[in-house]
Amino acid sequence: MLGACGGNARTRRSSEVVRPSFSADSAYRYIQTQLDFGPRVPETEAHDSCVAWLTEMFSRFGAEVTVEEGVTKDYAGENLRVRNIIAHIATDSSQKTILLCAHYDSRPWCDEDEEAAWYQPIPAANDGASGVAVLLEVARQLQQSKANGERLKACVDIVLFDCEDLGTPRFLDELDRQDTWCLGSQLWSKDASRRGKYTWGILLDMIGAPGATFYREYYSEQMAQGYVEKVWRAAADLGYGSMFRNERGGAIVDDHYYVGSALQIPILDIIHTDGQTGTFPWWWHTQNDDLQQIDRATLQAVGEVVMSQL
């Protein structure tokens, strides 16, 4: 409606704050669609269906989409197929490129749940689907901006990593190894041609819960301190300072760790933790990671903060 009235389609004014356009309702529906496929465990029908849908949706939103395929080893040393989804949103010139990413796979085990549920896959509404949904809505908003003749500040690559959540099950913790996690981003980061391509990046992980808190994650500050300050300042300006806590958080080995370490990309992680301990929410890696753990207000906040950087 703002566009029809001659306003900027990417922004809306509320209480004297100009807010980037973002629809939490759309993002919520994208989460619901992912859950409707079932747990997106790699090498399952639900995972295949989700890959096809994500590819179609990003293409519909005007992105150039490729699926990067490869083979890696899982925690037990078995071959594992990896499919990273890359959606490139170009500007009308050779500007800088910003990297936005999340993981879309579901963990095959509920190893933080009661023992009877250990071998059940996680619904992964928040731990996976929430970040994907926000990035889908970002792509839709950017398409609308371009359609309205606006010139984007930068090219954007949205990368959805596969096989992030296949780390050693807790009930086999004697085998636990850090590098059994984030397998898709480890594979993606082996391509040295990507070094120097990105100005900076943001990773979204578990960003949809009611009352979520996002601290300044330790590795993010080590790799991208200036950008952490920029993003958290933008969140405060938008009125989300109580959610984006201006305090140091714990050290989280997430997809950003491998991307930043291997390719020297300044990249930060927006991830829900409980303060400096780095403790994850109570529903993490349990059957309770369902739509009850999703709040439109949190999706709106994260979506606006990300859009404010584009």
Q: How many helices (H) and strands (E) does the chain have?
A: 7, 10
Best CA proximity match to 178, nearest among 251, 85, 271: 251
Q: Is the pLDDT of residue 2 over 50?
A: no
**Beta bridge partner(s), residue 101:** 159, 203
Q: Residue 266: its pLDDT value, please?
A: 98
Q: Give residue-wise pLDDT tens across range 4-58.
A: 332 334 455 555 678 999 999 999 999 999 999 999 999 999 999 999 999 999 9
Beta sheet of 155-161, edge-to-edge order: 64-73, 79-89, 155-161, 97-103, 200-205, 267-271
- Residue 168 DSSP symbol: P
**Beta bridge partner(s), residue 89:** 156
Q: How confident is the model at residue 304 (pLDDT cuts 50, 70, 90)?
A: very high
Q: Residue 140: its pLDDT value, please?
A: 98
Best CA proximity match to 60, nearest among 132, 140, 135: 140
pTM of the model: 0.94
What sign does the dihedral 203-227-137-207 (CA atoms) show? positive
Q: Residue 15: its pLDDT value, please?
A: 55
Q: Residue 174: its pLDDT value, please?
A: 73
Three-state SS for 61-118 is CCCEEEEEEEEEECCCCCEEEEEEEEEEECCCCCCCEEEEEEECCCCCCCCCCCHHHC
Q: In the predicted model, what is the mean pLDDT of the chain? A: 92
Identity at 164, one-letter amino acid code: E
Contacts of 148 (CB under 8 A, 6+ apart): 3, 9, 10
Task: Read off the pLDDT of each residue in 67-75 and give the average, rounded to a whole number.
Answer: 96
Q: Residue 114: its pLDDT value, please?
A: 96
Residue burial 218-228, b: 16+ Cβ < 10 Å; e: rest: bbbbebbeebb
Task: Read off the pLDDT of each residue in 159-168 and give the average, rounded to a whole number.
Answer: 97
Residue 198 structure tokens: 């990105």
- Could you tell me which CATH number the domain at 20-307 has? 3.40.630.10
Q: Is the pLDDT of residue 3 over 60?
A: no
Q: Residue 5: its pLDDT value, please?
A: 31
